Amino acid sequence: MQLLDAPLAIVDLETTGANASWDRVTEIAVIEVDGGELSGEWSTLVNPETTIPPAIQALTGITNDMVAGAPTFGALSRELHERLAGRVVVAHNARFDYGFLRQEFERAGMRYVARTLCTVKLSRRLYPGHARHNLDSLIERHDLRCRARHRALGDADAVWQFLQVAAAEHGAEALASAARQVAKQPALPAHIGREAIDAVPDAPGVYLLYGEGGAPLYVGKSINMRTRVLSHFAGDLRSSREMQLAREVRRIDWQRTAGELGALLREAELVKELAPVFNRQLRRASEPCGFVQDGVSLRLAHADDIDADAVPHLHGVFRSRRAALAALRGLADEHGLCLQTLGFERARSRPGACFRHQIRRCAGVCAGRESVEAHRARLAAALARLKTIAWPYRGPVGVVEEDRERDASDVHVVHNWCYLGTAKSESELAELIEGSARPRFDLDQYKILARHLLKGRARVVELSA
C-alpha cells in the first residue's frame, strides 16, 4: 500500500505551551485523507481550562476570550477519538502533537494509540540538501499556501500540500519508502506487542520486565517510562546482556510516581524485593554497618542494629563488614591507632605491645608509650574523617513531590535517613508516622535521600510523630 492510499489524519494542535504534562490544547484541526484524496476537514477551538500565556496569544492569535465558550477536550474527546480511529496520524513534529493527544485523552479517561508519521523527518529524508525543515521553511521552499500560520487548520493544510508536492516530485513509491523509514519503530521482542509499549505512559515511574513464567528480569526507573522501555529494544543494542534481556522479556508492567525521587526510591525497594536477574547495582548483597564509639574502643553496628534511632550515632556507613574494617585499618595506619585497644584485634596472652606497634604502625598505647587520652584524641580526629550522618531535622519529615499533570502530590516520609514509605492521602500519612514497625536503614535509599535533601531543592515538611 502506498502512503497516500492509507487512511490519514493530518493533525495540528495549538496549545498553551510545549509540555504535554501540564500544558493544554487550545485548537485542533484534522484533515482526513482517503485513497489519496481529501475526504474531510474538521477544526475547533478548545477551552484549555487554564490561562493562555500572553506570548502564546501573540503567536497564535488565540485569546482567552476566544476559547472561553469553546468545548473542553473532555467534551469533544469521544467525537475526536472516532474521527481518528484507524488512521495514521500525520503531523509536523508528530511527537509533539501525538504526545498532547495521548495526554488529553488520558485526562478524559480514554486510551489512545495510533501509528504516526512525522513530516519533519520525512522532509529531512526526501530533501537532505536543505538545512531547515520547519514548517515556515517548507512553505517557502515549496511555495505552499497557508491560510493562517500558527492556526491549526492552516498549518494542517500546509502539511497536506507538502505531501502532495513530495509525491509529485519523488513519486508515490519513493514517498512511501521514505515514510516507512522515518516511521520505523524499534524492533520489539517477539512476545511483546506494540499495545504493551503504548500502554506505558510518558511519565515518571518504575517499569518491570518479566520473563517466562513471570520471573522478574529487570526493574528500571525513568522520568519518561515509555521512552526508556523502548530504548531496551533499540536496534543498536550495545551489549550481549541487553540483547539477552530483549530476547527473554515476556511482559511489561509499570508503576507511576509523582516524580524522579519517588521513582528512585521505589526502584531501590523493588530490586531488593524481587531480585531481578539483570539488575546488578542495587540487588548486590548489602549488609550496611558503621562504627559506634564507646569510650576508647569502637563497636561495629550491623544491619540488624541500625534503625532510625541508631543512624545519627554512627561514624561512617559502609556496604559490608569487610569494607568497614578495611576503612578502619587505613585510618589506624594513618593515625597510629591501636586496633587491639579499639577492640578489633585479639589481645596478646601477656600484657605488652601489640604486633602493629612492633612493626611501627601503632603509637604504643598498648605498651604504655602514650596515654589513653592521647589515643582517644587521635581516634576522634580519625573518625572526623569519616562522613558522620547528621539528620538535619528534629523528627520525621515529609518530602513533597508534586505531580502537576494529575494535580496531586506524593509525600515521602523519612526519619533519620530511613525511608518509611510514600503517602498519597492524609490517612496513609498518619499510618506511616504512627506505624509501629521499626524502620530499617537502607544504604541505597540513604544515598538517594541525601542527594535530594542536601541539595536544598526538595520541599520538606516537618511532621509530628
| Catalytic residue set | 150
For residue 290, the SS3 value is: strand
CB 314 within 8 A of CB 387: no
- Grid coordinates given for 253: 508492567
Instruction: State the Cα–Cα distance between residues 196 and 199, nearest whole angstrom.
Output: 5
∠ CA 107-409-256, rounded to 5°: 60
How many other C-beta atoms are found inside a 10 Å radius of the C-beta of residue 233? Answer: 19
Pairing label, strands 459-462, 315-318: unpaired
For residue 5, the SS3 value is: helix
CB 421 within 8 A of CB 432: yes
CB 260 within 8 A of CB 223: yes
Distance of CA 415 to the CA centre of its chain: 24
Instruction: State the Cα–Cα distance between residues 441 and 313, nearest whole angstrom.
Output: 13
Q: H-helix or E-strand containing 55? A: helix 54-60
Strand order in the sheet with 297-301: 297-301, 289-294, 315-318
How many other C-beta atoms are found inside a 10 Å radius of the C-beta of residue 207? Answer: 22
Quote the crossing angle between the two packed helices 94-107 and 73-84, to the nearest 10°. 120
At 347, the amino acid letter reads A
User: Residues 6 or more apart from 70 whose CB is under 8 A from it?
Assistant: 44, 45, 46, 47
* Nearest one of 280, 283, 204, 219 to 249, comparing CA atoms: 219
Q: H-helix or E-strand containing 154? A: helix 152-170
The per-residue b/e assignment along 61-91, b for 16 or more CB within 10 angstroms, e otherwise, is ebeeebbeebebbbebbeebeebbeebbbbb
Instruction: State the Cα–Cα distance between residues 314 and 440, nearest whole angstrom.
Output: 14
* Nearest one of 431, 420, 405 to 106, comparing CA atoms: 405
